[in-house]
Structure 1
């Protein structure tokens, strides 16, 4: 009953928001009526940035910055291509990148963007965000207005992937309110942001690149139920909806499931409790630290069933955090719900149901552990329930516990218990951060506290080589080299489960074009990545 009331309230708010968006807007300079001859679109999208539109605080994650530009970007085949940069040169020793910049990039306020703004941005990002690792960047210097030089402590085959995450901030425009009123050299200029309600943008007439087809776009920040209701009322052009609506239809709209790399994975502590401590708190887990148990669980998971049934077909099964990427290892793919192999792995690992209670045990330890997950998303709940059912088929008991993220973090929960982690990136550096032993117990994404000298050797070689082909081969070997690795054939500290599709109802006549698979932290904004190509008849 409570949920129904919230949905009704959201729908009433939607009607007011859309009505206001169509009649005018309030910018920081006052209220102006929107000309009726403008090409406009109304989009309901999840993922309002809590800290605003400041790249120094990880806006826009791995997505499109709208208001700012990047030095290099991904094309639809996940290749790195120039944007603000026009040339890229790497020194023979692999420690200096020199980037030439275009000289015609103007910000939406008419001021020029230069190499000094690049230096300002990277220095700022190093100080403010924990999501972008610039620890290998020794210095960044502007040689002139259109030349910037990056000096690295050591060669880094992933550095340009990191550069592609960072949108450039114009130093002259930066101040305490920049996140609420951003200025930059991107394809759109900021008009209005009402937190919790909407964001209005208009095409930037000074943009150096391809001019957007749409003059004005209103983004509505609605829950997914209200978004579906808004499309039913014909008030929204593009509506992001819950997977629960994947089997529904709306007259006048086309349903589209967009594949992403918005992956959820079971993180399983790979060391016994107490092997390491964080702020005096012992981490690790005495059950999941057993390699045979982790491997067996991965083989037992009915990923296909979870996708088809619990998620209404709006997801696909995955067996790594990088499916389809150039650094993915083909051996990551294993048979779905292979219960026989899973049971054999447990038996050979010394696990057996010795007291007939349906739960296997080893050395007096029951195969029973807690799996933490956060509230608010029915899709994640569906995955953990599916994992629980799959585990039962091989005599493993998973106890599900839902807690707010703040509480989990305070208790060091992701390092002590299993956790449903969001994964999936468009850089192989994620393999390093997930599995390198130098990331153990330091608040990084190696939540299983996994470490192996052979894995470390592959990871460090992959980072430090200047040969792209060699790097790709080494990333693959870290996953599985024929006898050792981090995938289900090896140590399996993570169990990748599914990659969510993002379901949209798109008004007939609206064309959003095609998309590359969006990474986890940019998936909410993937539809915006090619915003310049959007059209509406």
Structure 2
């Protein structure tokens, strides 16, 4: 069956590539990487980096690029390899003593891809439009954005919000003069690339923005194809792709002329564990979970499961164990610990009254089985595989986890009652606020465990009130663990893995210096697309 799927995928890819890649490949360019005395240097690429890039909607005002890998727009600040902010469009910025005013001074040499200058008015327009458009960009803390002069933009906040500086490293700037209906499918920006052609759900062709102020791209055209994974892999084997993102299921394949590259990430996967017993919310919806609300269950799972085995079974061993929500980021303070402590986990359960009284392998307490459902996304094999692998591993503890697949919309809607496999990984520490702040309960997919710890809330509020990133980071760390309490010992999430992003890359193609990837299903590899080149 798998062989038949591969043959069908190859046929489909050939049909698609026959109609699409002709627009993306120029005659006379080398079909494979590198150069030789008889072979010109390749100046075009054809790549496939996962779903989403060919859907259009490249509008930062409604959330495009907010994880930090937009290629059409510039930001006031940017993140370096240490995930620290540094200047980009803004030369510098300062924060008022009361933490409510952020003043950015802009460079004067930046133009949009239509040749018009980027000014403070464009920045103010971008932020106020994003604030009032009902977008996915959270700017509720922004009172107003004003251009004091062409090179100075002043942001006034309605409350202290230290994470605002990180937001300015993620929100791309749009031109006031060119923004309107249809902008997201043909954006004008000040980033390294511009859209040359978009065939929705099929291909996106990008070319260099000749006005870009940073490192110029080495390629005159890059075609990004929307192929399912089997079709993309088949196309790579046929020699028509230069980069292809693959999920762990295919990472052991061999592709002639290509090498597998595995890039570390903070793109985590784990399950929310509701910390309150079942009840009805104000809308009559069931929230909470009678089994996971017992901290003994949550702690036993956290220390008793074997993450390495789960990663091996679900992801071909590709990824590293995750212990907290923000592993490897500057504000992480969840220490690694030894897991697979089965005997210790069983002792915790037994002390809490969870024992197997009927010999069926499932513990009970006061007539309640240590049994609950979890979901993995039906459109994401990685998440479903993790659900199944976790279910299998938890049986040794006497906990019966029933893994099911569900549509993502349904999984999210049920998540405050039925744990689901979430993926996070954000360069902005506000992700900790969304995940653990008590007042975020019921706000979309924020704080789905219904977690509340007054001390954690206090640290979060102090982190947001800080006037320097260094001060804020100290409080972000304390909310995870202060020596007595914190999220790391309340176990509202069961973190499993920071997945690796894996790609087959044409031999000789250099992907530049890749940052630690954020969440993004493989797309973050293009964040430095202007730095890619073939070795000479």
Say if 1:420 and 1:427 are closer, same or farther in 2 by CA, change over 3 A. same
Listed one character per residue, the Cα deviations across residues 352-372 of structure 1 (whole Å, up to 9, x for unaligned) are 112222111112211111101
**Are residues 1:264 and 2:269 paired?**
yes
Say if 1:247 and 1:370 are closer, same or farther in 2 by CA, change over 3 A. same
Listed one character per residue, the Cα deviations across residues 211-269 of structure 1 (whole Å, up to 9, x for unaligned) are 12222111111112122111111111111122122222222212101111111111111
Listed one character per residue, the Cα deviations across residues 88-141 of structure 1 (whole Å, up to 9, x for unaligned) are 111111111100111111111111111111111111212335532211111111
**Are residues 1:307 and 2:311 paired?**
yes
Of residues 332, 353, 358, the one that matches 1:328 is: 332
Equivalent residue, structure 1, for 2:205 = 200
5+ long unaligned stretches in structure 2: 28-39
Equivalent residue, structure 2, for 1:528 = 526
**Are residues 1:17 and 2:20 paired?**
yes
Equivalent residue, structure 1, for 2:162 = 157
Equivalent residue, structure 2, for 1:497 = 496
Say if 1:38 and 1:302 are closer, same or farther in 2 by CA, change over 3 A. closer
**Are residues 1:360 and 2:363 paired?**
yes
- CA positional deviation for 1:424: 1.7
- CA positional deviation for 1:148: 0.4
Equivalent residue, structure 2, for 1:45 = 49
Equivalent residue, structure 1, for 2:481 = 480
- Distance of 2:507 and 2:142 partners within structure 1: 48
Count of residues in correspondence between the two structures? 519
Equivalent residue, structure 2, for 1:247 = 252
Listed one character per residue, the Cα deviations across residues 405-430 of structure 1 (whole Å, up to 9, x for unaligned) are 23334xx3011111111112112211
SS in structure 2 opposite 1:415?
coil
5+ long unaligned stretches in structure 1: 25-35
Say if 1:106 and 1:425 are closer, same or farther in 2 by CA, change over 3 A. same
Of residues 80, 83, 88, the one that matches 1:83 is: 88
Query: Is this contact kept in 1: 2:260–2:505, CA < 8 A?
Result: yes
SS in structure 2 opposite 1:438?
helix
Equivalent residue, structure 2, for 1:417 = 418
SS in structure 1 opposite 2:264?
strand
Query: Is this contact kept in 2: 1:38–1:216, CA < 8 A?
Result: no
With structure 2 as the length reference, what TM-score do the two structures score?
Answer: 0.93
SS in structure 2 opposite 1:164?
coil
Equivalent residue, structure 2, for 1:387 = 390
- CA positional deviation for 1:514: 2.2
With structure 1 as the length reference, what TM-score do the two structures score?
Answer: 0.92
Equivalent residue, structure 1, for 2:241 = 236
Equivalent residue, structure 1, for 2:37 = none
Equivalent residue, structure 2, for 1:507 = 506
CA RMSD after TM alignment: 1.9
Equivalent residue, structure 2, for 1:32 = none
Of residues 137, 143, 147, the one that matches 1:142 is: 147
Of residues 172, 178, 183, the one that matches 1:173 is: 178
- Distance of 1:485 and 1:476 partners within structure 2: 9
SS in structure 2 opposite 1:393?
helix
- Distance of 1:14 and 1:503 partners within structure 2: 22
- Distance of 2:409 and 2:433 partners within structure 1: 26
- CA positional deviation for 1:377: 2.3
